[in-house]
Structure formats: structure tokens, C-alpha cells
Amino acid sequence: MPEPKDIWEALYRRFDPDEPAHKGQWRADRRWSPIPSISAGLKRPFGEKRYLVMGTVGTGKTTELLRVAEERSEDHVVVFLDLWRHFEEGVGDPNALQHVQTWEVLLLIGLAVYRAAEARFGHVWSKDDLRDLERAAARFTAPSGEAGASGTVDLARLASSLLVFAGGPVGVLAGSAAEAGIKAIGEVARASRWDFKIGERGRKSLPDQDERVQEMLGAVNTLIGTIQHQYRRLLLLVDGLDRIKVAETTRSLFVESTVLGSLSCATVLTAPLVLRRKGLAAQVRRFEPKVLANAPVIDRHDPHQEGDGIDFLLDVFRRRVADLPAPPGVARAADCIAEAHLRHLAWCSGGRARDFVRFVRMVAERAWDHGAAVAPQEIVNDAIDERRNVMEMGLNKRHIELLIEVMQDPERLLPDDEAIEALLEQWCLLPYPNGSEWYFPHPLLTLRRVPLPPRKAGSTA
């Protein structure tokens, strides 16, 4: 029988706010999610479906895209590229993602398809298959934008630095990798350093009609066509573009260009939520925009009442601890944190799955120090108070006035004020989905800085 410290250490390791739920049994079902309709659309054997999934950073988009990848690996060859992880770990410069161009995204997609086909499906690329991509990439190494290339590009070395997930029907998988489901490729090889300059600040964005952009698109589509001809339909999922905050980059990738929508396979991309807020989503061509909003932990009409997003987050917790043994004196591992405390942590997370997972980890750390089998109230309060202090940093008087204005609006809509954008980017204001989209201050801010309005008569929360 495990000791309490063993359970808390297990919780600490399982509740990593920077990692999605890679295990299918850890993924809880959301009531307000576009994922079922996306998966159903991709399952149809006709048309090339393309979706943009928008949402607050940390709301669980990566986990949901992995769910789609697992489901569709039954009838598709699936390639999943994590751009954020690549820029953070491979390039070593996550800020470069803020200035990425369409041709650079295309190159990374081409490398991901190349890498996945070799490692997961045992595909042997011919020189002819790869020549176009090598030539297209080399043209961008020319100094000062000169036509032609100044050197060669080693596709194998570049591809080895990518973190790619891939899968497909068992019949198309190769060798020792022939196990159904989505598997990571390149965990060890990512030590290979990426040295192809991308995402450089200050470079002029190239239009779709630029010859080099079209050559890159054609080269990537050649690889896609080869895979679809020899195996199955290809589903491409690209995560990380939702991290882009620079307005010019967002417009260049999604509004002013159709290049990413010209890939010749089913495609799902994450995208910045600003496309929705600024009314730009309707201008995006060749993609169906979808929103994965925060779990509604607050009732829209009475913020003193819990929303049904609370139960979703409790399910997230229970799924991750279901197979853990209970320590002495506790019936189940799930009882190490009382349900009342879990519900309060879920509410304090604002419905951002990442924040809820972070809260559980913070409680686990403190409970390990304490040595208790069940987390006491003071430990939970301390974790909440620490995050509240972080959320309050940088708030000024005008910010607080705007938060109160949103809270007091019966429709919970956004005021027309430039300062709103900063509040949204800092997650001080959160969007919620049930019914038409609405907004509310982060619950942590309502504990002191932006108190909730008086409780309605008859409210029991």
C-alpha cells in the first residue's frame, strides 16, 4: 500500500500544466466542444475538409486535437506537428513564432510529412520525391532575397529536430512501429539542432503569388500526394499557431493568404482567438472556423452559481487518478483532494484546463510537504492565493473599471475599449461558449479586486 507522499508525487507527475493529455483514457468529454463535428466531417470520404480551431491558450486545444488524431487514425494517415514545441525547443526561440511566414509553415509541414512517412510508415522516399522540397527550401537561403540558392539544405537533419506525432490504420504501419494509435516521433533525435533561420523579425512578408512561395507549396503538395496515392487519405494537424499575438502575422497567415488552405489534404490548424474577436474569422477563406472556449465554470446569469464546466474539470481529475492505489485511510486516490475543494479549484481556474491542472499540481506539492493523506483546507487556500496574486499583477484602475463593466452587463459583452485586448491576452477576461459567446472576469480576480455583485434572492451557491 502506497504512502501518502507516493500518491502526491504521482499526482505531481500526472498533472503537468505544460503537457496535453496524451493518454486517451485521460481525456474528458466536453459538452461545449466543436471536436465531435470536426471528427465527423473528417470521417466523410468526400471533400477535403479544413478547420481552424480557435480558443484561449490553455483551454485544451492540443488535447482535443490529439483526440481527433486518435479517432481518425482508424481511416487516415495522420501527421500531427507541434509548432510551439518546435520553436521553443528546436529553434530555441519561441518568440520567432510571432513573425513566422506562410512559406516557413509550409516548410515545417513538408518536413513533418517527410519524417512521419519514413519513421512511422516505413516509406522510402525517392530522390525525385524530395528534390522539389530541397530546391524550394534552398531558394530561401539566398542572401538578400537573391533568386537562386546559396547552398544546399539537408532535409533529413532538419526533419530530425521536429517533434511529430503520426499514426494510421495498422495495415499501413511499418516494422516495430506497427502499433495502432498516434505515436511520437523524434523524441531522441530532437537533440539535433535546428539551424535554418525562420521567424526573423523585420522581414517583409511574401505574398502568395511570390514564385518561391508557390514552389514551396507545390513541393509540399507533392509529398502529400505521394502519401495519399500509396497509403490512405492524409490528415494534417498543426498545433501552435494559436500562440501568435502579432496582428500582422495573424492577418498574413489567415486573412491575406490562402496558401495554408491550398494543401491538398484534410487540414486542422489552431489559430489565434483574435480572429474571432476582431471579426476576421469570416474573412478567412478555405477553412471552417471553430471555437473551443473555456469550460463554463460560472453561470452566465448568476455568477454565484456554478456552471456545468465544473463537472468537466472534475472528470479531468478523476480520469488521471483512476488507476492509482489509495493510501492508508483513504477509500480512493481521487479522495486525496475533497470534492468540495476540487470544485472550488475548478471554479478558480476560470475553466482553463491548464490552470486547473496547475492547481492540482500545486496542491500535490504542498500536500507532499505536509505528509497528509488528504489535502487540508489551508493547503488548497494557499495554492489559490498564490495564483490570485499572479493574476492581479499589472492590473491598473482602468483595467478594474472595465472588468466591473463586463461583470455588470447582463449580456456579458465586451466594451469598445483598446485596453480590452490586454485583459484578454492576460486571461483577466475569459470567453465562455454556452449559448452565444460571452465574457467574464477571471474568477481569481473576483476574490478581491473585482468582487462579485450581491447574490440574487433565492441563490443557493
Model confidence pLDDT, tens digit, residues 328-383: 888 999 999 999 999 999 999 999 999 999 999 999 999 999 999 999 999 999 99
Domain housing 72: 33-291
Q: What is the mean pLDDT of residues 446-458?
A: 84
pLDDT of residue 149: 45
- Is 420 a residue whose pLDDT tops 80? yes
* E strand or H helix at 234: strand 234-239
Percent of the chain with pLDDT over 70: 92
Residue 245 shares a structural domain with residue 355: no
Query: Which is nearest to 205 in space by CA: 248, 163, 245, 161?
Result: 248
Of the residues 251, 266, 291, the one at which a domain ends: 291
Within-domain flag for 56: yes
Q: Which residues contact 210 (CB under 8 A, 6 or more apart)?
A: 103
Residue-wise pLDDT for 139-175, tens only, equals: 988 655 454 445 678 898 899 888 899 998 866 665 5
User: Is 255 within a domain?
Assistant: yes
Closest CA to 239 of 416, 53, 21, 11: 53
Does 25 fall in a domain?
no
Same-domain status, 90 and 207 = yes
| Same domain as 338, residue 262 | no
Whether residue 155 is found in the same domain as residue 222: yes
In this structure, the answer to whether residues 302 and 413 fall within a common structural domain is yes
Same domain, 135 and 50: yes
Residues 266, 344, single domain; the answer is: no
Note the pTM of the prediction, 2 decimals. 0.90
Q: Look at residues 291, 314, 345 and tell me which one is the last residue of a structural domain.
A: 291
Q: How confident is the model at residue 176 (pLDDT cuts 50, 70, 90)?
A: very low
Give the cell for residue 67: 483526440
332-366: string of b/e by CB count within 10 Å (b at 16+)?
Answer: ebbebbeeebbbbbbbbbbbbbbbbbbbbbbbbbb
Say yes or no: 247 and 389 in one domain.
no
Is the Cβ–Cβ distance between 84 and 195 less than 8 Å?
no
- Residues 45-68: what's their mean pLDDT? 92
Cβ-Cβ contacts under 8 Å for 331 (sequence gap 6 or more)? none
Residues 197 and 329 reside in one and the same domain: no
Q: Do 223 and 307 belong to one domain?
A: no
Distance CA 414, CA 253 (A): 26
| Contacts of 127 by beta carbon, 8 Å cutoff, 6+ apart | none
DSSP state of 89: I
| Residues 332 and 239 placed together within one structural domain of the fold | no
Q: Is residue 260 included in any domain, yes or no?
A: yes
Last residue within a domain, chosen from 251, 274, 291: 291
Residue 429 within any structural domain of the chain: yes
Residue 458: predicted pLDDT: 59
- How far is it, in rounded angstroms, from Cα 93 to Cα 322? 38
pLDDT given at position 180: 62
Q: Is residue 13 part of a domain?
A: yes
Identify whether residues 73 and 123 lie together within a single domain. yes
- Structural domain total, the chain: 2
Strand stretches in 139-232, DSSP E: 164-167, 183-185
